[in-house]
Amino acid sequence: MTVRPTGPAVIAEELRKRYGDRAALDGLDLTVPAGTVHGLLGPNGAGKTTCVRILSTLLRPDGGRAEVAGFDVVRQAAEVRFRIGLVGQNAALDELLSGRQNLAMFGRLYHLGGREADRRAAELLDRFDLADTGRKPVADYSGGMRRRLDLAAGMILSPPVLFLDEPTTGLDPRARNEVWTAVRGLVAGGTTVLLTTQYLEEADQLADRISVIDAGRVVAEDTPDRLKSLAGGDRLDVVLRDAADLPRAAALVGEVTGAATETDQDRRAVGAPVRDRMTALTAVVRALDEHGIVAEDVALRRPTLDEAFLHLTRPSALAAGTGGEA
């Protein structure tokens, strides 16, 4: 069993990588505490996969430094490789072999003896709830089962740090939940997970902290809830029965909340930010009723991670340095 790091599991300082004239990483900083899930969130081309490839020793940086499990990814690459698992975007499985045979093969590639590789394969099949299907060819596995088997392959040596590069891309909601459950189980056992994803819900569900990356730099880093707050406070949304009432309703909502309102003609909706949630809700419902405006729905909601992501990665926010850690 590999010893788990007691300090930060991952440290990156001023990482830089260029492909021709394009900067894939432009001074990226990252710290991941041991035993946590840290999400890397960003649009296509932001630098997420390049970051993971450097941290997993598959790519050399052009500048900066990084450590994984206490070892430098350039000078001590072999030590790093012994302490990490990597699950890429595409499952690296042989579909003609069974799940058990795939895991045993990976064990032999990691220089385990035949008996130890078989023992480890059986252990991992049980851990990832695949024991009943271990003798079936992978070609017969569902998408969720394949990704769980891929996670199991990444854990052959029980590494303290696991890199997951968009592990649920293309999976349906049921299969995605299966993978999420498996990841939570790994973290409960002490594994540190660095997760790249384009699924905002996935980052919200799994990550203790999230680094938002754009143009090769970290533009914000915090807990999911605090990142959401950057998109603004609570909002009050009203959906009307009759779109003709939108102007009057917008005026009333604006008067009650003291804030600028937004209207959506297609949805027959009016929305505005609020400070005192329940007071605003009660006052708006009363005002609409007094003016004979019928609302089909009145709801309070908090900002979503989607809204925070769009807020943080829009050009004006980046130019202003919103979110701080660029």
Query: Per residue of the chain (326 residues), what is the pLDDT tens digit?
Result: 445 556 799 999 999 999 999 999 999 999 999 999 999 988 888 899 999 999 999 999 999 999 999 999 999 999 999 899 888 776 678 889 999 999 999 999 888 899 999 999 998 998 888 888 888 999 999 888 888 898 888 888 888 999 998 888 777 888 788 888 888 988 998 999 999 987 888 888 899 999 999 889 999 899 988 887 776 678 889 999 999 999 999 999 999 999 888 899 999 999 888 888 889 899 999 999 999 999 999 988 877 777 777 777 765 444 444 333 33
Prediction pTM value? 0.74
Please give the structure tokens belonging to residue 139. Answer: 């070609």
Give percent helix, percent strand, percent coil of the chain, each to the nearest 5. Answer: 40, 25, 35
User: How would DSSP label each residue in 103-146?
Assistant: HHHHHHHTT--HHHHHHHHHHHHHHTT-GGGTTSBGGG--HHHH
Give the pLDDT score at 143: 84
First to last CA, the chain: 37
Task: Write down the pLDDT at residue 319.
Answer: 42
Regarding the domain delimited by 235-301, which CATH topology (the fold level of the hierarchy) does it fall under?
Alpha-Beta Plaits (3.30.70)
Residues in the chain, how many?
Answer: 326
Q: Which fold has domain 8-229?
A: Rossmann fold (3.40.50)
Cα–Cα distance measured from residue 73 to residue 60, given in angstroms and rounded to the nearest whole number:
8
What whole-number distance in Å separates Cα of residue 200 and Cα of residue 40? 10
Write down the pLDDT at residue 326. Answer: 30
Provide the residue ranges of all domains of the chain, joining segments of one domain with +.
8-229, 235-301
